[in-house]
Amino acid sequence: MKMAGKILLLLLVSLGLAMSVHADIYKYIDKYGRVTLTDKPKSDQYKRLIKTWKGWEEQKNRIALQDFYKNQKKYTATINYYASHHQLPKALLHAVIAAESAYDPEAISRTGAVGLMQLMPGTAKRYGVHNRRDPKDNINGGTRYLKDLLAMFDNNLPLALAAYNSGENAVKEYGNKIPPYNETRNYVKKVIEYYKKFQTTI
């Protein structure tokens, strides 16, 4: 990236100019090396930026379908083990992982969530997860968190999933209802769809 681009990106990140808190940021570099940053990309040549512990980086393309099934097979024994160990339906745990990371242990969200179950630093610390990139550590911590959320919301699955996505405090603030966030509502719907599918295939 040219120096001007770096300066522009630093200004954008530090000041949040013309960007809402939840807006995605996209970068485009033209043939002259000029950098454009926007929250309204005009084509697929714009690359989405995500915040990681290394700084702002381009988001990887969504995991290929063959990798989805390859990783699903690779981690099924581990997922099933922790589902049984923590007394949760294995199809549910698979559904959450499919929706969260598409079974990619290297997945990183724009908010800094990491791994198969997309654990944030605070959640990882809360459940004693020392390495969020380690599949076993990540699944163990995420499964314990999911189980606690189900207990917290009286086994109301949509509320527990909403809390997993947006945080239990957000669900409580909206009177124990799914928060009116499109991302959260779509997430709950997506997990439940996976759950129904995996009940007959996993």
Sheet holding 25-29, edge to edge: 35-38, 25-29, 47-52, 55-58
The phi, psi pair for 56, rounded to 5°, reads -85, 125
| Pairwise CA distance, residues 90 & 202, whole Å | 8
- d(CA 91, CA 85) in angstroms, rounded, equals 14
- The yes-or-no answer on residue 168 being catalytic is no
Residue 10's identity, in one-letter code, is L
> DSSP 3-state assignment of 31?
coil
* Rounded-to-integer distance, Cα 34 and Cα 67, Å: 34
- Exactly one of 100, 106, 173, 193 is catalytic; name it: 100
User: Residues 91-123, buried b or exposed e (16+ Cβ, 10 A)?
Assistant: bbbbbbbbbbbbbbbebbeeeebbbbbbbbeeb
List active site positions.
Answer: 100
